[in-house]
Amino acid sequence: MSEITIEQIDKISQVLRDQERPLKERFRALFTLKNIGGDRCITWIKCCFKDPSALLKHELAYCLGQMQDVNAIPILIDVLKDQKQEPMVRHEAAEALGAIGGESAYCVLEDFKNDPTIEVAETCQLALARLDWLKNNPSTDKKSIYYSVDPAPPSEEKDVENLKSILLDDKANLFDRYKAMFALRDLKTENSIKALSEGLSVGSALFRHEVAFVLGQLQEECSVPALIKALEDKSQNEMVRHECAEALGAIATEDCLKVLEKYLSDDKRVVRESCEIALDMSEYENSPEFQYANTLLEVS
């Protein structure tokens, strides 16, 4: 990345930090900074954790975790500790700490594994389980086939029915259910996707939101009815509905676009903004554009 100048990075950061810019432009800037990486990009991302958009802050934490740079750990610890931050932002900071690892990350995750906010507590427990698993399996810390750092490794089990049984078992260990989830994702058959889709109606909000995220990675049309049903269900936690919206944007069929348009005026800000971002993503999915995170080209 040596050809990218400090001036270019700073111009991209101006787009990210400008609250007057459309959120979709700020998201593209954020993912451009993530792809560039390095201390300067981390510093600019850090500046936005006081933004009024919980969705943007959630995505800031996600990007820092995916970058797997230890220099982001102090920032993420501060966000996790900040009780004024929205639960979905604190949850994402905890997950990012689990993605990066290290002693300081582990210690703070221990401190918050019984947090009164269940989504935060469960995320810390999962992150600790991931880091404990990595201690015993150090050579297996790698990104998935979807280029993501996942909160759990895929199970070695390959039978869809057995994996489905674990996935949908509310009494099973959450880390094991996540392992089943990622194994079903990696199988990528119609039956495995249908099994995952059933997960949108069981378990905790954290669990259901991860199911939606995985279905978005798969981008398979057979999951659309379940995703639409969950988005339309106002009793669902907003972090689940937000993730369903973004998954629909990734799949980008005509039915997906219709429902996303409908919920652009939802009473939950994070759902409204997710539909806006999802529609922008769907434009990318249906265009010849080479790269979603293309802010570098726009500021050059």
Please state the residue numbers annotated as binding site for Fe cation.
58-59, 91-92, 209-210, 242-243
Amino acid code (one letter) for 225: P
Retrieve residue 248's tokens: 């629909």
Q: Residues 6 or more apart from 2 whose CB is under 8 A from it?
A: none
Q: Which residues of 173-195 are buried (b: 16+ CB within 10 A; e: fewer)?
A: ebbbbbbbbbbbbbbeeeebbbb
Q: What whole-number distance in Å separates Cα of residue 64 and Cα of residue 70?
A: 9
Least Cα distance to 88 among 298, 219, 270 occurs for 270
Single out the residue of 243, 263, 218, 276 nearest to residue 28, CA to CA. 276
Distance from C-alpha of 263 to C-alpha of 104, rounded to nearest angstrom: 40
N- to C-terminal Cα separation, the chain: 14
Place of tokens 């981008």: 219
Annotation: binding site? 58-59, 91-92, 209-210, 242-243
Asked if 277 and 247 touch (Cβ cutoff 8 Å), the reply is: no
**Four-residue CA torsion sign, 172, 175, 181, 187:** negative
